[in-house]
Structure 1
Amino acid sequence: MIPTLFYGVPSGCSFGSIVALEWLGEPYRLSRVEMPADVTSETYRRINPVAETPALMLGNGRVISESMAIMNHLGWLGIGKGLGFPQGSDQFDLFNQVLAYLNTSLFNGFSPLWYALEHESDGSSKDALRTYGATLLAKAHADLEEMLRGKKWLLGERRTLADAYFAGIARWTKYHDVLDRRDYPAVQNLFERLEDDPGVRFAHAIERGEKSISNGGFRGEVSLKDALHLRQQAS
């Protein structure tokens, strides 16, 4: 069995894991998980009990969840392509540091904004959430602008899976009109460069349910039911 990534739609942070798999170039499948209906179902909880995407089912049926864990696993597989680095090296420490920043500061900056958008609340509560989220995101973007000083990609002159993860989160500004990314030129340039990347364009098409051409190892989509059956066979 080849690995299967369970990705959430619409606009899940699992987007970055699709991009990472495309860049890696090894065979993989995808399984679409509608949010919130499918992701909280008993069927999907048999894949990931905490009911979140992404989750990566390996060839032996073992499942890895949480974006950072998946990126570190795929990064190890992509050391030869410069997408990740050997554990214990200075480069690995920097890679892990940047991933952690994206996963905490940038991701969490959007959390109050998503809550305000998806939950009913009075005007003052919603305004407070949006103000808080805007403050967090302004700081995160300023920090990223500084991190990118003199660099083409987040870690330097070559793209890594940290850039793939960034692509999936940075696009969320389109849902929340609290920040103009153009005020941060280096961040905007990185975002635009990634939007032109074939792997990122592929991930966008996959999320939209459009026919898409993989430049990596994509071997088609499987349903949750079929993915569970494959897991039982592999175990």
Structure 2
Amino acid sequence: MIYCLFNRPGSGGFVVEAALSLAETSFELQEFESKPGTPLHESFRATNPWGQVPTLILPDGGTMTEAAAILIHLAAAFPDKGLGPAPGTSDHAKFLRWLVFASVNLYEAVLRRGYPFRYTTDPGGHGALAAAANARLKDGLAVLEAALAPGPFLLGERMSVADIYFAMLFTWVHGEIEAPHLVAMKNHIKAHPVIGPIWQRHFGDR
């Protein structure tokens, strides 16, 4: 059995598809042709009870969800492919710190900004919730921008799947903040011979 990735264009599953491709491992792509943020078919909850992508079925039949967790797993599963630094090193500590920071703070802020109705039962509060999430997102990206210096990647000259994750989050902000390190990193990733075509399919020229 090979990996099977449930995904849809423009979603957080982009980074998992990129990581699997960098790992040079065989995988089946099950892609839903629906807009990110819209509910998936109820039957999909048999695969992922939370009803979201990305969802990755492992070769042994196990299921993984949450993009950051999947990236950490794949980096460990393919240690010779350069997806992440070796466990136990200072670079690995840095990799984990900022990947989890981005997942907990930035990704969540993106969701609160885009889908405020998920986080309050008061329709009148949607605007204020989205505005607060947007401010939080920009603050978090500024912190990440400082962490990337001097660049071009989090770990200097070595790209990891964390950088691909950061670039994905940053492109959802559509250039709303001044972040030259994030811009340069995103451009490196868009130009990567393996990742570039996947980026184009998910995000176009953004």
**Which TM bucket (shorter chain)?**
0.7 to 0.9
Question: How many equivalent pairs are there?
Answer: 199
Structure label with greater radius of gyration:
1
Q: So what's the TM-score if we normalise by structure 2? A: 0.84
Which residue of the partner structure matches residue 165 of structure 1?
A: 165
Aligned-CA RMSD value: 2.5
Where in structure 2 are there 5+ consecutive unaligned residues?
none
Deviations 1:132-174 (A, max 9, x none): 1231122112101110111210222100010122232222123
- The 3-state SS of whatever aligns with 2:154 is coil
1:140 equivalent in structure 2: 140
Q: Structure 1 residues 118, 46: closer, same or farther in 2, change over 3 A?
A: closer
- Cα deviation digits, residues 82-130 of structure 1 (max 9, x gap): 22233333222211111101101221221222125999x86x7444234
What secondary structure does 1:190 align onto? helix
For structure 1, list consecutive stretches of 5 or more residues without a partner in the other structure: 209-235
Matched residue SS, 2:56 = strand
Matched ranges for 1:152-191 at <5 A: 152-174=152-174, 180-181=176-177, 183-191=178-186
Which of 75-84 and 197-206 deviates more? 197-206
| Conserved? CA contact 1:5–1:56, under 8 Å | yes
Per the alignment, in what secondary structure is the counterpart of residue 52 of structure 2? coil
| Whole-angstrom distance in 2 between the partners of 1:50 and 1:116 | 18
Contact 2:151 2:185 in 1 (8 A): no
Residues 207/190 of structure 1: CA separation in 2 closer, same or farther (3 Å cut): closer
TM-score, structure 1 length as denominator? 0.75
| One-letter identity of the residue aligned with 1:132 | A
> Contact between 1:167 and 1:194, CA under 8 Å: does it hold in 2?
yes
